[in-house]
Structure 1
Amino acid sequence: MLVDPQFIFRFEREPPDRAEGEVYALEGFELASRLSFFLWSSIPDDALLKAAGDGRLADTAGLEGEVERMLADPKATALVENFASQWLGLRQLDTVSPISNEFDGNLRRSFRRETELLFESILREDRGIVDLIDADYTFVDERLARHYGMPNVRGSRFRRVALRDDARRGLLGHGSLLTVTSAPNRTSPVMRGAWIMENILGTPAPNPPPDVDTDLDTRAAEAGEPASMRAQLERHREDPACAGCHNMIDPIGFALENFDLIGKWRDADGGTTINASGDLWDGTALDGPAGLRAALLERRELFVTRATEKLMAYALGRTVEHYDMPAVRAIVREAADDDHRFARLIAGVVKSPAFRTKRKAGSGQQTAAD
């Protein structure tokens, strides 16, 4: 039983009377299963099965009603935890090993929980998804508050706190993101810049050209100088083969250089005062986390589009392709008049043709959901 594909995978049975390659609407119970695994990471409950049996999922209003009910259920926490882990790379926290005496298992768990709770608050409070970038509050326990320099927080219980420091607002100030985008022994403006381009702006950085030396630590050790990460990268960009990409990536990462490899605030690196300024590829000036956040908010539609792409990929269990983008853009446009609420984007994905239909893979075959 344990090796039977029918047990291991969630199968969506294909109708035998459809031709290979034909697109067809998912039947009630198949749609109910897809919806349940999307929002709850589990099987449908009795209410959802009844709605499927009664044919209510075939109606847009009935489908929206079930989405609203399911998002209000405590089981929707699975969407927050699993989607956040997939999109933001939170699972990498389980394997990172920063070379720092201040990092331990408790901090590792607190980093992840902070980000999950921010996601959950945006869903439960019906907020716009842009608050992921600009939220003026976060969630901390004593261990995390001490790491961030926040006073008067005691105990292991997480509580919501207002942020007085603009540098910590939103995901850019989260230790989870800052740690998984660092090298084990130092910060990495390149990793941080590339992460934001990929996950926030939806403009992935190109891969480095072949035969380019990317080992900055060895080169710095051999040269003896320069000491700061910024100076090392400036030397690296002297190579024309490297400059093209790094001129786009590095300024974004430099804006976060005041956060060390585990997200703790600092004013100097290698005995040099940190310079967190720079310019985006279009000339927009950046200066520290607040300046970067302002630049991202000016491009909020790029962020919402990328978030919707990631959400759709999670819902479908496959990569979003070029032919899915009209649907993604339509979801973003329709949610714009509602402040791009997280729940509205979820409902848009569920109502999309990509979610409610399927293309038959082969005559008489069954396909497992990815």
Structure 2
Amino acid sequence: MPDEILFELAKQGKLKDAKVRRDQTLRMLQDEKTDRFIRDYVHQWLDLKKLEIVEPDLSIFTVDEFDLVRNQIKEEPVEFFRELLSNNLSLLNFIDSDFVMITEELNYIYRIEGHPVASPSKRPGASKISPKDYRPKEITSEFSKVMLSKKDRFRGGLLSQAGFMLMTTNNGEYTNPFYRGAWVLKSFYGDHLETPDDLEISALSPPTKTESIKETIDAHRAETSCNICHKKMDPLGIALENFDVLGRWRDKYTDVSNYA
């Protein structure tokens, strides 16, 4: 609902002036209601409600441990959008930015150089700190803007964030190029894939030590009925396979039996 100022300007016919509209837009962006708009818009656009039900593989976090960082994972894209909107930055930053908006806890996942990492408490008998040893007692750090070095530049944008990676997995256990590709098509390109009612989808064979995930997918895509959608979404999903279920970088699969 427009406020009294907008009603008055409309009554005077001044909203036809581009400068007046711009000034009023900037004024409204400073209003406390803008926070609600940002949060609601990002949650609906990216379908973040999925993060309420998905859990990561328990070899990464226990359920209790993940609950401590779940909200930060959900807030990361919100804070990123807020930074772009507040500073009138290019939309291209959604794809490739030279900065991220993170907390010290999230940086335990990302390990971006030059930014503090939340100190995990080691479990008894652990020989080294690993993601499964991450047990924050409480979440106290706030989001901050961190500029990326050339080495960490792949972290820029939305597509490498933990929330997106986790939502597009098989129940948080292993990555799925199909889900990731379909999500990018829907959220970034506005392309909603429609599966024919009579389509019979055959099971996708898991990769093996002698067959890569790309080769497995190519074999699946050889079926004409499958290729209709897969020819569009698979390249996008495969391009993101260097990121694991939480967005950590990997150069190889640690277990070819489940893609992880």
Shorter-chain TM-score: which interval? 0.7 to 0.9
Match of 2:7 among 52, 55, 63: 52
Q: Which residue of 2 aligns with 1:88?
A: 46
Deviation of the 1:270 alpha carbon: 5.2
Query: Is the Cα–Cα contact under 8 Å of residues 133 and 172 in structure 1 kept in the other structure?
Result: yes
How many pairs align?
Answer: 223
Q: Which residue of 2 aligns with 1:280?
A: none
Q: 1:57 to 1:130 in 2, by over 3 A?
A: farther
Higher alpha-carbon Rg: 1
Query: Is the Cα–Cα contact under 8 Å of residues 181 and 236 in structure 2 kept in the other structure?
Result: yes
Tell me whether 1:204 sits opposite 2:166 in the alignment. no
**d(CA) in 2 for partners of 1:91, 1:57:** 41
Q: Which amino acid aligns with 2:216?
A: Q
Q: Which residue of 2 aligns with 1:123?
A: 85
Q: Which residue of 2 aligns with 1:316?
A: none
**d(CA) in 2 for partners of 1:269, 1:244:** 28
Match of 1:157 among 139, 142, 151: 142
Q: Which amino acid aligns with 1:87?
A: W
What is the RMSD computed on CA atoms of the aligned residues? 2.7
**d(CA) in 1 for partners of 2:117, 2:22:** 42
Deviation of the 1:76 alpha carbon: 0.9
What is the 5 A alignment of 1:290-301? none
Deviation of the 1:196 alpha carbon: 1.3
Q: Which residue of 2 aligns with 1:7?
A: none
Query: Is the Cα–Cα contact under 8 Å of residues 237 and 243 in structure 1 kept in the other structure?
Result: yes
Q: Which amino acid aligns with 2:192?
A: P
Match of 1:175 among 162, 177, 193: 162
Corresponding residue SS for 2:192 = coil
Instruction: Write 1 or 2 for the structure with the bigger share of helix.
Output: 1
What is the 5 A alignment of 1:88-107? 88-103=46-61, 104-107=66-69
- Higher RCO (CA 8 Å, separation ≥ 6 residues): 1
Q: Which residue of 2 aligns with 1:187?
A: 175
Corresponding residue SS for 1:118 = helix
Deviation of the 1:245 alpha carbon: 2.2
**d(CA) in 1 for partners of 2:12, 2:186:** 38
| Long gaps (5+) in structure 1 | 1-32, 36-47, 273-370
Corresponding residue SS for 2:180 = helix
**d(CA) in 2 for partners of 1:102, 1:49:** 52
Q: Which residue of 2 aligns with 1:261?
A: 245
- Over the matched positions of the two proteins, sequence identity in percent amounts to 27
After superposition, the C-alpha distances for 1:93-118 in whole angstroms (9 at most, x for unaligned) are 11212324324123322222221111
Q: Which residue of 2 aligns with 1:247?
A: 231
Deviation of the 1:252 alpha carbon: 0.8
Query: Is the Cα–Cα contact under 8 Å of residues 228 and 269 in structure 1 kept in the other structure?
Result: no
**d(CA) in 2 for partners of 1:113, 1:76:** 15
Query: Is the Cα–Cα contact under 8 Å of residues 79 and 143 in structure 2 kept in the other structure?
Result: no
Query: Is the Cα–Cα contact under 8 Å of residues 56 and 63 in structure 1 kept in the other structure?
Result: no
Q: 1:254 to 1:100 in 2, by over 3 A?
A: farther
